Amino acid sequence: MGTRILTVEDDERIRTAVKLALEDEGWIVDEADNGEDALELFNRNPTDVVLIDIMLPGIDGFEVCRSIRRTSDVPIVMVTARADTHDVVAGLEAGADDYLTKPFAPKELSARIRALLRRVRSSDPGSAHVKLGDLEIVPDEGVVTRDGQEVHLTKTEFRLLVELASSPGRVFSREVLLERVWGYGYFGDGRLVDVHIRRLRTKVEVDPANPRHVVTVRGLGYKLQP
């Protein structure tokens, strides 16, 4: 089976351009012009990456993203017509791994998808088992527990936590985390890191507003408190 991409876009011109660009990469492309059809397609066909436009007729892109996230950790890229911080953050909070702002170059879209696919298909077997207080991280098994209870993380959240856990106490800048976790630096956005850190804290911290484990080092970045 080849790589399959689901693109959800109500503008036919954009949808056609995206389909052609992705097919040029040798990928199989499924298309939907609304959220309801997108969810039906997603449930019917195994998909490697999902591109979702925020503004859709019927249920919007945020709800499509949330619905997919309830059952899958497939990489999701939200597409927005505005670089508006609220839209970007809301998309990432809904469970997206990344976002793109229209208009975007097909080469940038393809590069981001390749980076997402590399992340999904690579593993980190050399990462050490880490236990910090009530938090336990077992990278080889893809497992994180808090007080003995398994915590469900998306692939991006898990990779972010494993990266921080690779050197407890070390401060990681946003730029380093973009490179190590997302697989790209120059076109990355620090908001990707900030929102995923916030989501991660809601899952691994007893009190996300006063984190014990995933700590901000003002002006420098983030660290996992040993």
In a domain, 18, yes or no: yes
What pLDDT score does 139 carry?
Answer: 84
Residue tagged 């390749």 (tokens):
114
CA dist., res. 94 & res. 86, Å (int): 12
Of the three residues 117, 141, 173, the one that is the final residue of a domain is 117
Single-letter residue type at 63: E
In a domain, 71, yes or no: yes
Instruction: Convert the pLDDT of each residue in 119-164 to its tens digit.
Output: 776 655 456 788 888 899 988 788 899 988 999 888 889 989 999 9
In a domain, 149, yes or no: yes
CB 217 within 8 A of CB 171: yes
User: Which residues have a Cβ under 8 Å from the Cβ of 213 and sit 6 or more positions away?
Assistant: 132, 133, 135, 204, 205, 224, 225
What pLDDT score does 123 carry?
Answer: 54
In a domain, 124, yes or no: no
Pairing mode, if any, of strands 76-80 and 49-53?
parallel
- Closest by alpha carbon to 202, among 134, 126, 151, 140? 151
Total number of domains in the chain = 2
In a domain, 142, yes or no: yes
Together in a domain, 107 and 136: no
Together in a domain, 144 and 108: no
CB 213 within 8 A of CB 130: no
Task: Using the predicted structure, report yes or no on whether residue 192 has a pLDDT greater than 60.
Answer: yes
CB 74 within 8 A of CB 47: yes
CA dist., res. 89 & res. 85, Å (int): 6
- Closest by alpha carbon to 214, among 180, 175, 186, 177? 177
Together in a domain, 104 and 12: yes
Together in a domain, 90 and 27: yes
Together in a domain, 134 and 203: yes
In a domain, 125, yes or no: no
Instruction: Convert the pLDDT of each residue in 37-74 to its tens digit.
Output: 999 999 998 899 999 999 998 899 999 999 999 999 89
Of the three residues 94, 117, 140, the one that is the final residue of a domain is 117
Task: Using the predicted structure, report yes or no on whether residue 186 has a pLDDT greater than 80.
Answer: no
| Percentage of residues in the chain having pLDDT higher than 70 | 93
Together in a domain, 107 and 205: no
Instruction: Convert the pLDDT of each residue in 11-36 to its tens digit.
Output: 999 999 999 999 999 999 999 999 99
**E strands within the chain?**
4-8, 28-32, 49-53, 76-80, 98-101, 130-132, 135-138, 143-146, 149-150, 214-217, 221-224
